[in-house]
Structures are given as structure tokens and as C-alpha cells.
Structure 1
Amino acid sequence: MIQKPSLFSFSIDAVLLGRFVRVPIQKGNILDLCTGNGIVAILLTTRTKATIDALDIQPELVELANRNVLMNQKGNQVSILEGDLNDLPASVQQKKYDVVTCNPPYFEKGQALEKNLNPHFAIARHELHCTLEDVIRVCSEQVKYKGKVAIVHRPERMTDILLLMRKYQLEPKRMQLVYPKEGKSANMVLIEAIKGGKAGLETLSPLMVFDEDDQYTERFKEVYVRQ
């Protein structure tokens, strides 16, 4: 993956999202919102033959994502699109997807931006162009009935996420908390919902990233570094 220090680079959360969501193996359509440099879409190509549309609002990241798609020889499967989540390109609006994924901005617009924050980082981290409700509403609008929506976010927003999913007919079905290490509070949550699904949430066993020696745990390596 090509990354630039001046742009927002992917981290563990994006990789875990790409591993967590359940996808059709042979065919189908997938939409990845807030794709950044295309990491989630490219990871998904290792698990599915579905066609993938990946959208980001920042032209610099769209250019980088296109380069990554070409470098990984995924141009026949992944289409990178520039656009606003709240004003989707016509080619996206016309479709309904089997799966929609999103690694959205984590911090609410009202929260203070870090001093002198790079504008690319600000858009990626803060809800400047879309709110959490926008993300979940659009995911629901674009996914098929009985299709899946998966997002990664911060645990402190979990109540909002679950309530908004129910509001937009997305029934949370699988959830996993991710912890930096034993004894620390969770700093990520992965949630998968089904459009029009029945009630019933499966809480997966927690995932610890680091052990007591600050090395990746064996279980985390099985998820994160698998080929």
C-alpha cells in the first residue's frame, strides 16, 4: 500500500474491519464508504470475488487509492470513486449492495479540533462532512434488504451506533470489542448489522492487540497479519 505522511494513513481499525465483515465469496456488490487510500476495499478482494465500489470525499486520497488498486492489480474488481457520502454519485445511488462497510470519522463536530491539525487529518477524524447518523442512514439506504452493514468505531459511541442502527432498520447482529492490552479499556468496536434482520446480538470474544511484553498477541496476529 502506498501512503503519504501528509495524508491520513490507515491503521489497525481499517484492517480489522476488512477482516471482520462477512462477505459473499463468489459474487455480489460491496460498497466501502470513507475508503481513504482503499485499504478496506483491497483487503476484501482477498476474501471475495464481488465487485467493490469505494468512495472518498478527498481527491488526494482518491488518487492514492486508485494507485493502490492498480499496484495490487485489482482494477477489474475495485472502482474508486470521488464523492460526498451525503451526495453519492449517480452510479452508486442506482445500486443496492449486498454489503456496505465504513470506517467513519470518530469525533463529533462539536469536539475541538487539535491545534494546527492537518486538514486531511481533520476530515478523516472529525465529523466535518458527515455525522454518525449520516453514515448509518446512507449505509441503510444503499444496502439490500437482508444485506449486511459493518462499521468500526470507538466504544464511547456504541450506544449512539446501536440506537441509530435500529432507527434505520439495521439490526445489530455481531459485535466485537478490541482492547490495546489486558487491563486497559477497549478502544475500538466492530459492529455488523443486517437490514431488516431479527433481534439478537452475538457478542464475540474480545480481541487483545498487545501482550504484557508489548508484542502482538497470537490471536491478534491470526487476524491482522494473515495472508
Structure 2
Amino acid sequence: MSLSTKTEPPVAVTEDSLLGGRVRFLQPAAGYRAAIDPVLLAAMAPAEAGMRVLDLGCGAGAIPLCLLARVPELSVAGIEAEPEMCELARRNAVLNGAADRFEVRQGRIEARPPLFEEGAFDLVLANPPYQAPETADPSANRLKAAAHVEANSVAADWIEAAFRALRHKGRFAMIQRADRLADLLAPLDRRFGGIEVHPLYPKPGRRAKRVVLIARKGVRSPLALSSGIVLHNMDGSYSPAVAAALETGCALAPAPSE
């Protein structure tokens, strides 16, 4: 009698592009598809040539590839729980000529022993699931649900993983919903200092829907709230700085406070 093993059907993919075509990007045809959040985080990340970077939950590799388009002289590792997304990230690295600079490791961020070398990274990035399980209505698509809803790991786990991965005075940058800021500040403050909160406003005069948080290991500077970034003009078009970041991959920084 032969035994059969049930396997998941292959994930249908499309080839799209990011940064105005500078990045070729394979992603699932259905389910989670990259929006502007990973591109914004890559544009706001304090990355410099020669850094070692870790992306927690890298998905198909949008953040690393956008970051490498801006700062090619980086070494990036990505951790991703879903094997299908790991495979897409590896294919995207090859597709963009970055296989020698972008390594993908399959597994969970809270794994012990960790999937990364502790204290070895200059910069850690994260675009974690935005929805807490108690308030979420998960998608029937497994990959989309995994990307949007916290499951085995919560916000504090991502912060702890970043702390373990970073060298002394290394930086952690993450993007999250603005209404979850209270969930993030307490665990961040326990582990990091120099916390910067950068609100992302959908239009002038509107409440922020997203925030980018940047914190530093081994310092105790007080929290700072920036003037933030307005994403869209009143007519719905992107503001000039955001349009430039999305089309060219250039760095994006909040306007100076008056």
C-alpha cells in the first residue's frame, strides 16, 4: 500500500515592479500583495553603505530590495515564516541581481536559538502584522491572514527579536498602525532609547493612520515626536517627497519642525 503526502498547491504569482520599475517583484496573485508601507519604511530607514541589515518577516522581499536599490552596498538578511514567501524572496533576489547581498532564512522570529547572529546587525527593520487577533477578521487566504494578523508572535516579540539582533547603538525601524502606538511604546522603552515617532498622515489636516518608529539600542535619549509626513495632496495625488520616494527609491524624511 502506498502512502500519499498532502502538499500545498503552488502559489500563483505575478511579476510586478516597485520604485518605478527599478525593482522587479514577484508576488502572490491572490492574498497579500505589497502596498506602499514596505516601500515607505525602506525609504525612511537610516541605512548607510557597509551596514548589516536584518528584515524581520521579509515576505517576498519588498523592503530589502527597495533598500538595496537606494544603498547597494548593504548586506541584508531576511527572516520569513511562510516557505512560499521565502521562495519568492529568493527568486526576487536573483531577479534583481542581489542574491549575493540578500539572504533569506525560513523560520519564526521568536525561534530559540535565533535564526540570526545576535548582536551582529547595524539596522533591523520590521513591517509586522497590523491586526491583533482579538480584533481581527482574518482573510480566508492563508498568506494574507499571516501577513495581516498576529498569530504566534505579538508586537513585543518583534521588538525583542530586534533587540537581540542589534549591535550596541544599532537602530530598529518599524511601521505600524497609529492606533497601536500604545502597544509598542512600552516594550520599546524597556529595551531601547532615542525613540522617534514619525506619523504618516493620509492628507493634510487628517489624523495619522500609520507611524514609523525608529529606536536605538544602548542609548537613553528621550522620546521625540517628529512633524511627520503627509502622504497625499488634497486631490489624492502623492505629495512631492513621497512621489519621489515611491518612484525613485530616494530617502524620505519628515519636514523640519518650525
Q: Would you call these one fold, judging by a TM-score over 0.5?
A: yes
**What is the deviation of 1:58?**
0.6
Name the stretch that deviates more: 208-217 or 126-135.
208-217
Provide the C-alpha distance between the structure 1 equivalents of 2:235 and 2:146, rounded to a whole number of angstroms: 34
Change (3 A) 1:91 1:106: closer
Residues 220 and 125 (structure 1), Cα distance of their counterparts in 2 relative to 1, 3 Å cut: same
Unaligned stretches of 5+ residues in structure 2: 1-24, 250-258
Residues 37-186 of structure 1: pairs in structure 2 closer than 5 A: 37-45=60-68, 46-87=70-111, 92-93=116-117, 96-114=120-138, 117-167=140-190, 169-186=191-208
1:188 to 210, 217, 222: 210
Residue 20 of structure 2 corresponds to which residue in structure 1? none
Structure 1 range deviating more: 209-218 or 76-85:
209-218
Say if 2:52 and 2:75, in contact at 8 Å, map to a contact too: yes
| CA drift at 1:89 | 6.9
Aligned to 2:255: none
1:162 Cα deviation after fit:
1.5
Higher-Rg structure is 2
Amino acid at match of 2:110: N
Classify 1:90/1:217 alpha carbon distance in 2 versus 1 (closer, same or farther; 3 Å). Answer: closer
Q: For this pair of structures, how many residues does the alignment match? A: 224
Deviation at 1:103, TM superposition (A): 0.4
1:3-32, Cα deviation, whole Å (9 max, x unpaired): 22224111111111101111131x131110
By how many angstroms is 1:78 displaced? 0.5
Shift of the 65–137 alpha-carbon distance from structure 1 to 2, 3 Å rule, reads same
Query: Is the Cα contact below 8 Å between 1:9 and 1:37 reproduced in 2?
Result: no
Query: Where in structure 1 do 4 or more consecutive aligned residues deviate above 3 Å?
Result: 88-91
In structure 1, list runs of 5 or more residues that go unmatched.
none
SS at match of 1:185: coil
- In the alignment, the residues of structure 2 paired with residue 95 and residue 182 of structure 1 have an alpha-carbon distance, to the nearest angstrom, of 40
Report which stretch shifted further, 1-10 or 153-162: 1-10
Per-residue deviation, 1:156? 1.0
Alignment of 1:194-205 (within 5 A): 194-205=216-227
Relative to structure 1, is the Cα distance of residues 54 and 89 closer, same or farther in structure 2, using a 3 angstrom cutoff? farther
Q: Is the 8 A contact 1:162 1:172 kept in 2?
A: no
Q: Which residue does the alignment assign to 1:34?
A: 57
Cα separation, 2, equivalents of 1:89 and 1:48? 30
For residue 219 of structure 1, report the CA deviation from its aligned partner: 2.4
Distance 1:23 1:112, change over 3 A: closer
1:23 aligned partner: 47
Letter in 2 for 1:188: R
Compute the TM-score of the two structures, normalised by the length of structure 2: 0.81
Three-state SS of the structure 2 residue aligned to 1:87 is coil
Letter in 1 for 2:40: L
Kindly provide the CA deviation profile for residues 155-199 of structure 1, in whole angstroms up to 9, marking residues without a partner as x: 1111221111111x2114322111111232211100110001132
Does residue 224 in structure 1 map to residue 250 in structure 2?
no
Shift of 1:204: 2.8
Corresponding residue of 1:14:
38
Taking only the aligned residue pairs, the percentage that are identical comes to 25
